[in-house]
Amino acid sequence: MCGDICEMETMFTYTNRRGVIHYIHETPTKAGSLRYTMNRNAGGALAELPTGMEIVESINGQVYIRKVRPGVILPLEEKLVQQTLAAHDRDKYRVEVKGRDIIIHKPNQDVDRIAKLMDTTSAWGNFGQTFEKLMRKKIGDAAWQDYQRQRKEKARLEIEQLVTYMPVLRLRLDKGRRRLFSVERMSYRGHGGWLWLRSGMPLATACEHYVPLLGTYKLFEEC
């Protein structure tokens, strides 16, 4: 989900997951300090990332710059959540770490349906099947499979640029020394917001209990 950082023609650039290039700009404040911002305008952009600053990209590709903050969530904890999502066939969900929170987001769009619409061979029906047989005969099974793999990977990258996400589950580190988490789900009733479910859970236990509930009505029965 992370973007790419590079330095081209004395301008420091950051490319987010949607392929949009961002530049760093500085503005003096009334107090005499400098304020840094990120935007798409190359004019007057800085040549390098200011000392003590870092670039952050949100789950939906918004980019901003801030002072470097020490990490609260361990890399292994973020990886555990991602691995649990994959193990329970929830790999379309995305993980975002913000402070002491690990937030799980679901796609707003039907990724499988978009992928199918982008698969022109599949959309052609019987003609597509006939075309596939002809291509396999002409270039061979291995070459055809490699072509399909490359085409699907290209489609995946294009879909990733289109899909937006919304938060559904939040795992919040409550007790840093013991590494215990509270669990909250997003509520859509009334004004909406986070609804507390449980506290004092080891991260692995929380993941194994709540990740399988993602995308099901059982999650909304939890309270």
- The encoded tokens of residue 61 equal 């590709």
Burial of residue 22 (CB within 10 Å: 0-12, 13-18, 19+) is buried
- Residue 1's pLDDT band, with cuts at 50, 70 and 90, is very low
Asked if residue 151 has pLDDT above 90, the reply is no
Helices and strands (H and E) in the chain: how many: 7, 11
Task: Give yes or no for residue 73 having a pLDDT over 60.
Answer: yes
Range from 13-22, 137-146, 205-214 that averages highest in pLDDT:
205-214
Q: Which two tokens stand for residue 178?
A: 């013991």
Higher pLDDT, 162 or 102: 102
- pTM for the whole thing? 0.76
120-126: Cβ within 8 A, 24+ apart:
none
**Are the CB atoms for 38 and 23 separated by under 8 Å?**
yes
Across the range 176-191, mean pLDDT stands at 90
201 vs 112 pLDDT, higher one: 201
pLDDT tens-digit map of 13-57: 999 988 899 999 999 999 999 999 999 999 999 999 999 999 999
- Top pLDDT among 115 and 169 is at 169
